[in-house]
Amino acid sequence: MLVHAGAGGVGSIAIQLAKLHGCKVFTTVSSSEYDYVKQLAPDAIINYQTEDVDKALVDLTGGLGVDLIIDTVGKKEAELDLRRLAYN
């Protein structure tokens, strides 16, 4: 599962709920929010300001992609998310 904006209200709750249900959670954050999100214990934090989100997800999923994406960022990111989803 990928949660964009893990430091936001929706993102931070989504991380915690997903972890409670045993999901593997990856999240995107800015540099300034990294320490806050780290305490929420996602499986991986991707700093979208310094890392390539697509490459990080390929590395984290072995190229498979993620099954679910929560995106409160917007249209541009949602379009990019289509290729980040696992297929079959």
In a domain, 34, yes or no: yes
Range of the domain at 44: 2-71
In a domain, 87, yes or no: no
Task: Tell me how many domains the chain contains.
Answer: 1
Write the CATH number for 63. Answer: 3.40.50.720
In a domain, 61, yes or no: yes
In a domain, 79, yes or no: no
- N residues, the chain: 88
**Model pLDDT for residues 19-41, shown as the tens digit of each residue:** 999 999 999 999 999 999 999 99
**Model pLDDT for residues 51-87, shown as the tens digit of each residue:** 999 999 999 999 999 999 999 999 999 999 999 999 9
In a domain, 47, yes or no: yes
* DSSP helix/strand/coil, 50: coil
Which amino acid is it at 17? L
Helix (H) or strand (E) holding 81: helix 75-81
Which amino acid is it at 14? A
How far apart CA 31 and CA 47 sit, in angstroms, is 6
**What is the phi/psi pair of residue 87, to 5°?**
-120, 120
